[in-house]
């Protein structure tokens, strides 16, 4: 059974003290379940606090929001994979749309980061997705394929360690959400890309204005293995509702 993966991206919110307060409130509401796992991607300064607060919960994993591809060096403000792991990270986001479109991260740089995360023994969650003008031009699948091409040269066993999050840029923080059918089409294309390279199974999440009100409808779609959530993961009650979601019968 593939476990439902529910990931919280806190972005530039919740420092160490606020993170500890959040988890105190959230863990009182959330019970572990064998069919799902919860991931937290806090800010770099709160990473260790979240890892410590959840260390006794085997159903919860913690990751970094961003890492550098170099192991060390004169890269002021950057975080290496080994530093993230030492702070308690088991995973790292790579290529989030804000890294790409606000900070100018390229597909090539995303590919380097994925390789660094894999080399460091962590799980990379590679984010892919199109802008609204690309969607309107019918280029969604081509854009996603281009972003996945940064993984070129990795063998099937290595590719199988990667989690992919499809997050259409036009749906992030806008209140707009891709329909389950829209997401399913892209998720199926992502699976075909991996299958063509010998990967029999890949976990593909959806992200983009996910809320308690639409979470159940999204996870009911067979192609969606979980959710990557931004704003709605910043409130303990809202996040507890999402992590308890059940697909409608």
Domain containing 65 — which CATH number?
A: 3.20.20.70
Annotated catalytic, 13?
no
- For the four alpha carbons of 145, 146, 148 and 154, in that order, the dihedral sign comes to positive
Does residue 72 have a pLDDT over 60?
yes
89-118 mean pLDDT: 97
DSSP 161-189: T-EEEE--GGGSSSS----HHHHHHHHHH
Tell me whether residue 172 is in a domain. yes
The count of structural domains within the chain is: 1
- The one catalytic residue in 48, 96, 98, 130 is 96
50-76 mean pLDDT: 97
40-61 mean pLDDT: 97
DSSP category for residue 70: S
Place of tokens 């410590």: 52
DSSP category for residue 31: -
49-66 mean pLDDT: 97
Rg of the chain over Cα atoms, rounded to whole angstroms, equals: 17
Cα distance between residue 50 and residue 72, in whole Å: 24
The average confidence (pLDDT) of the chain is: 95
Confidence (pLDDT) at 1: 55
**Least confident span in 25-34, 146-155, 168-177, 234-243:** 168-177
Tell me whether residue 46 is in a domain. yes
Tell me whether residue 248 is in a domain. no
- The one catalytic residue in 98, 167, 187, 223 is 167
* Domain ranges, residue 224: 4-243
For residue 64, the cross-strand partners are 92
Residue 146, token pair as written in the block: 């281009």
205-227 mean pLDDT: 95
Residue 29, token pair as written in the block: 């509401």
Tell me whether residue 234 is in a domain. yes
Annotated catalytic, 96?
yes
Tell me whether residue 213 is in a domain. yes
Tell me whether residue 199 is in a domain. yes
Tell me whether residue 101 is in a domain. yes
147-172 mean pLDDT: 95
Tell me whether residue 249 is in a domain. no
């Amino acid at each position: 059974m593939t476990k439902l993966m529910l990931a919280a991206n806190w972005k530039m919110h919740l420092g160490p003290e606020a993170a500890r307060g959040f988890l105190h409130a959230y863990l009182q509401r959330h019970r572990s379940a064998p069919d799902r796992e919860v991931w937290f991607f806090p800010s770099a300064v709160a990473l260790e606090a979240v890892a410590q607060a959840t260390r006794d919960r085997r159903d919860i994993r913690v990751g970094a929001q961003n890492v550098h591809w170099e192991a060390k060096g004169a890269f002021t403000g950057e975080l290496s994979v080994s530093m993230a792991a030492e702070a308690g990270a088991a995973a790292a986001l790579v290529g989030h749309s804000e890294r790409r479109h606000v900070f100018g991260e390229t597909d090539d740089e995303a590919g380097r980061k994925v390789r660094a995360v894999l080399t460091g023994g962590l799980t990379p969650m590679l984010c892919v997705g199109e802008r609204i003008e690309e969607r309107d031009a019918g280029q969604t699948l081509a854009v996603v394929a281009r972003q996945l091409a940064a993984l070129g040269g990795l063998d099937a066993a290595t590719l199988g360690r990667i989690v992919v999050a499809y997050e259409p840029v036009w749906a992030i923080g806008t209140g707009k959400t891709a329909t389950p059918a829209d997401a399913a089409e892209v998720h199926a294309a992502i699976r075909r890309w991996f299958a063509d390279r010998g990967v029999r199974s890949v976990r593909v999440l959806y992200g983009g204005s996910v809320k308690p009100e639409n979470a159940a409808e999204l996870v009911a779609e067979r192609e969606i293995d979980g959710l990557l959530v931004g704003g709605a993961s910043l409130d303990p009650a809202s996040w507890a509702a999402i992590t308890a979601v059940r697909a409608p019968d």
